[in-house]
Amino acid sequence: MAKGNINVSVENIFPLIKKFLYSDHEIFLRELVSNATDATLKLKHLTNIGEAKVDYGNPQIEIKVDKDGKKLHIIDQGLGMTADEVEKYINQVAFSGAEEFLDKYKDSAKDSGIIGHFGLGFYSAFMVAEKVEIITKSFKDEPAAHWICDGSPEFTLETADKTERGTEIILHIAEDSTEFLEESRIRELLNKYNKFMPVPIKFGTKEINDPEHEPATITDKDGKETKEPHRQITVDDIINNPNPAWTKQPTELKDEDYKNFYRELYPMQFEEPLFNIHLNVDYPFNLTGILYFPKMGQDMNIQKDRIQLYQNQVFVTDNVEGIVPEFLTMLRGVIDSPDIPLNVSRSYLQADGAVKKISSYITRKVADKLKSLFNSNREDFEAKWNDIKVVIEYGMLSEEKFFEKADAFALYPTVDGTYYTYEELFNKIKANQTDKDDKLVILYASDKDAQHSYIESAKAKGYEVLLLDSPIVSHLIQKLETTKENISFARVDGDHIDNLIKKDENTISKLDDEQKKTLEELLKDVVPSDKFMVQLEAMDSSANPFIITQPEFMRRMKEMQATGGGGMFGMGNMPEMYNLVVNTNHDLVSDILNTEAKEDKERLINQSLDLARLSQGLLKGEALTNFIKRSYDMIK
């Protein structure tokens, strides 16, 4: 029997492992199962190239809980180790980065994800175990070895009587970690971290119907037929799927395969995804994966962190910020890349060159897929637009390369349900919606019902009105105005239609200057100046007498601030201000001027103002109650 000290200069490495990595202590199982997987796959490679003259067979990894003995066993049938290799890989190599680890993390108590980065994967076992044993038999013709360490730098190494190839690691679970002796807890961790590992993982057994036994049909004395019960057999419970969909070629998969895999990833998600994007690249880095577009509608607060990140089928994290562009974190699915370090800090990931390339590749791939879907079935794409537009519009705002590509598939729907690309829209409205200053004005509504009368006024002029109702529309139109040449967006209720798209012709007012001055005085006495800026306008006599609008700039800045941005203008603290446009050519305005009694004049002005407020959804509370009472009085 050999005894010795582990090659580490700092004697208190074990307490430090536990202290610094305690918040992450559950990942010990991931590390040990990953090591077992590596040992199995390495053996497969060596047998394939003829260096290991053994029968590879159908190896699996087994996890066993011995609650009474307070032990957890991880057993593989991989290449195993000789005593010399245990000395080399367990006692020396594992601590090659120990001093760097202590140096870097001595002042930090909570950085997660650093074990693998410093070669400490195996030693994560000591976060939960007071003693660890390794019993291992190499595929080479050498005796088995038995290594024991009790969490101090001292170890013993002796020969063992193990005859089967592979490694068994036995964790003697510490008193403060007895949760890892519960089968339900181990199953939860295996499902979380090892659900798609490439080697079958056995965890106990289960009863299933015997596939080779067809239940016989039994006929009773009355001639009634019944089937005998299925015969049950006990089989290994393999808790993982070693060949998940993303490891296959797209040509091997049908739509139903993608949908089945989505259900496997999200068993509690009952809505089908709209479509998927299969990622598969091997240069300049390796990356595979499947991303799904879920149904999103208008919801910007949809649960993020649903994309799972793997390294060689080992789960790493579902916080993919910095790896996946932010606008795509609303998607779901899997990304797997051996080029992403398994255990590193978030800041390390964001600074990593390979990770940045991966992010821009995913952006490009998603844009290309959307273009392809649009070109191959535009009708279907249009039908799904309202469920995916939030992601696309967010991408147009946040990723310049995506914005450039989005011209090919971003849609601009009208209030009548027609969908245009930007180029189609431009060509459709250029002749009719270019104003006297040669600027193209794109009209839009955000609420078809609330802005109905304004939409109708615009349509009466033959104008197209877009329906742009996503939460970030103010940011998007700002971006389009600064990117596209000589255009502006105007919401249909931002002003009278003739002012939104100013043409050369001027309408002559029926009122002379003195009548206008009298009207202004009347309005000043009745209309609250803290809420409305009064404008007298000569408009078509068929246009409404009183129209309430909100200046485009002010409204847009307030909207932008509400969804992030625009805060520098301080709009969020400003009171709501509206324009009251009074049509001097309407008969009612003339009637107000010609009414003799002051009380009657005021009642007509209040009634007209309230009707205008009602059309904008601004009449509420006491003012609405008074309006209804006044209206009934006028009917009487």
Which domain CATH number covers 572?
A: 1.20.120.790
**Are 418 and 549 found together in one domain?**
no
Counted domains in the chain: 4
Q: Is 35 annotated as a binding residue?
A: yes
What Cα–Cα distance (Å) separates residue 207 from each residue in 204, 229, 242, 616?
11, 14, 21, 66
Q: Is 346 annotated as a binding residue?
A: yes
pLDDT given at position 118? 42
Tally of CB atoms within 10 A around 635: 6
Q: Tell me whether residue 125 is in a domain.
A: yes
**Are 153 and 39 found together in one domain?**
yes
pLDDT given at position 571? 47
Q: Is 81 annotated as a binding residue?
A: yes
**Are 456 and 547 found together in one domain?**
no
Q: Please return the burial class of 310, using the count of CB atoms within 10 Å of its CB with bins 0-12, 13-18 and 19+.
A: buried
| Confidence band, pLDDT 50/70/90 cuts, at residue 356 | confident
- Summarize pLDDT for 298-351 with one digit per residue, the tens: 555 555 658 888 888 888 887 777 778 888 888 899 999 887 765 555 555 556
**Are 81 and 17 found together in one domain?**
yes
In whole numbers, what is the pLDDT of the chain averaged over residues?
A: 83
| Confidence band, pLDDT 50/70/90 cuts, at residue 404 | very high
**Are 273 and 298 found together in one domain?**
yes
- Summarize pLDDT for 30-60 with one digit per residue, the tens: 889 988 998 898 898 888 888 888 888 899 9
Which domain CATH number covers 256?
A: 3.30.230.80
Q: Tell me whether residue 395 is in a domain.
A: no
Domain's final residue, options 204, 237, 270 = 204
**Are 88 and 200 found together in one domain?**
yes
Asked if the model's pLDDT at residue 116 lies above 50, the reply is: no
Asked if the model's pLDDT at residue 238 lies above 80, the reply is: yes
Q: Is 31 annotated as a binding residue?
A: yes
Nearest-angstrom CA–CA distance, 310 and 289: 9
Q: Do residues 25 and 113 touch, judged by C-beta distance below 8 A?
A: no
**Are 439 and 548 found together in one domain?**
no
- Summarize pLDDT for 186-228 with one digit per residue, the tens: 999 999 889 999 999 999 999 888 888 888 888 877 778 888 8
Q: Is 300 annotated as a binding residue?
A: no
User: What are the helix and strand counts (H, E) for the chain?
Assistant: 19, 24
Angle at CA 636, nearest 5°, toward 542 and 608?
A: 30
What Cα–Cα distance (Å) separates residue 81 from each residue in 34, 38, 56, 131, 164?
16, 13, 16, 20, 12
Tell me the DSSP string of 300-320.
TT-----EEEEETTEEEES--
**Are 17 and 67 found together in one domain?**
yes
**Percentage with pLDDT > 90 across the chain:** 37
Q: Is 96 annotated as a binding residue?
A: yes
pLDDT given at position 564? 62
Range of the domain at 174: 12-204
Q: Tell me whether residue 268 is in a domain.
A: yes
Domain's final residue, options 149, 178, 204 = 204
What separation, in Å, do the N-terminal and C-terminal C-alpha atoms of the chain show? Answer: 111
Can you give the pTM of this predicted structure?
Answer: 0.74
